[in-house]
């Protein structure tokens, strides 16, 4: 049953398998080529009709990324739901999962990744290299920001990406502005050592429910 709050793009044929995607940005847009090759239909949950993935979606449910009611409507249109990003309301989605909504990756797999501090601890505990890091208290002081020396990277623990919610502190002259930023915000922060790099590489890994792994 189609929600009155969703729209569907006109298509000449309908794939058998419909995949829901929470998020309608560039990453969701980039899924279209692979989905088309596999004859999968993408149905998107996204806030704005101008979001990139709307143009390639076979159906759109308009709603915020963390709007669980919109996700419930999305679930009515597809067999499985995946994620463009981690800006979700995990507790609200857990209720949908208990009602039979299938999420891939599972909510259990996402749990240690939503908060960057939890993510760093998870990677470290599994033997993966990480920069030195600390969680900053709400009443952060200059001494807190200097614990790891300089330069360091200041990051919001939730909802940050690329340069959004990230600030590199290279010398003491930047400490005062960083303290003001933290004190005025309503969020938690992470501090980690700065890692010099020449380029950034990413490895994509997928694992099927029966254990096959592809990179």
CA dihedral (186, 122, 104, 162) in degrees, to 10, reads 50
What's the rounded Cα separation, in Å, for the pair 79 and 90?
19
Task: Look at 51-65, 74-88, 154-168, 186-200 and tell me which has the smallest mean pLDDT.
Answer: 154-168
Torsion of CA 66, 106, 17, 64, to 10 degrees: 0
Is pLDDT above 80 for 7? no
Contacts 24+ apart (CB under 8 A), 35-43: 39/15, 40/15, 41/11, 41/14, 41/15, 41/17, 41/78, 42/18, 43/18, 43/19, 43/74, 43/77, 43/78
Q: Token pair 């709050």 is at which residue?
A: 5
pLDDT at 161: 80
For helices 68-75 and 90-98, give the axis angle rounded to 10 degrees: 30
Three-state secondary structure call for residue 109: helix
Supply the pLDDT for residue 13.
59
Domains of the chain in sequence order: 6-111 (3.40.50.20), 116-193 (3.30.1490.20)
Q: Which two tokens stand for residue 93?
A: 């989605």
Peptide bond just before 105 cis, omega within 30 deg: yes
Q: How far is CA 69 from the centre of its chain?
A: 19
Judge if pTM exceeds 0.75: yes
Q: State the chain's mean pLDDT as an integer.
A: 91
Tokens of 147: 């614990």
**What integer pLDDT is reported at residue 174 of this predicted model?**
97
Is the per-residue pLDDT at 4 higher than 60?
no
**pLDDT surpasses 60 at 6:** no
Report d(CA 61, CA 21) in Å as an integer: 10
Q: What is the mean pLDDT of residues 41-65?
A: 97
Q: Sorting pLDDT into bands at 50, 70 and 90, what band is 103?
A: very high
pLDDT in tens, 104-136: 999 999 999 999 999 999 999 999 999 999 999
The pLDDT of residue 2: 39
CB 194 within 8 A of CB 174: no
């Amino acid at each position: 049953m189609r929600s009155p709050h969703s729209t569907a793009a006109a298509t000449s044929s309908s794939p058998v398998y419909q995949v829901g995607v929470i998020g309608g940005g560039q990453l969701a847009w980039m899924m279209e080529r692979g989905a088309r090759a596999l004859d999968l239909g993408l149905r998107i949950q996204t806030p704005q009709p101008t979001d990139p993935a709307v143009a390639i979606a076979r159906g759109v449910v308009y709603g915020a990324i963390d709007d669980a009611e919109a996700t419930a409507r999305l679930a009515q249109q597809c067999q499985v739901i995946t994620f463009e990003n981690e800006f979700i309301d995990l507790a609200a989605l857990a209720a949908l999962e208990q009602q039979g909504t299938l999420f891939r990756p599972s909510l259990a797999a996402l749990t240690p990744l939503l908060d960057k501090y939890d993510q760093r601890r998870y990677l470290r505990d599994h033997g993966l290299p990480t920069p030195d890091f600390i969680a900053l208290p709400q009443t952060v002081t200059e001494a807190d920001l200097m614990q790891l020396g300089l330069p360091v990277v200041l990051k919001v623990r939730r909802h940050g990406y690329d340069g959004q919610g990230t600030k590199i502190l290279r010398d003491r002259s930047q400490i005062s502005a960083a303290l003001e930023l933290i004190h005025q915000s309503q969020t938690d922060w992470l501090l980690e050592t700065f890692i010099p790099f020449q380029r950034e590489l990413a490895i994509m890994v997928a694992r099927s429910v029966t254990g096959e792994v592809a990179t």
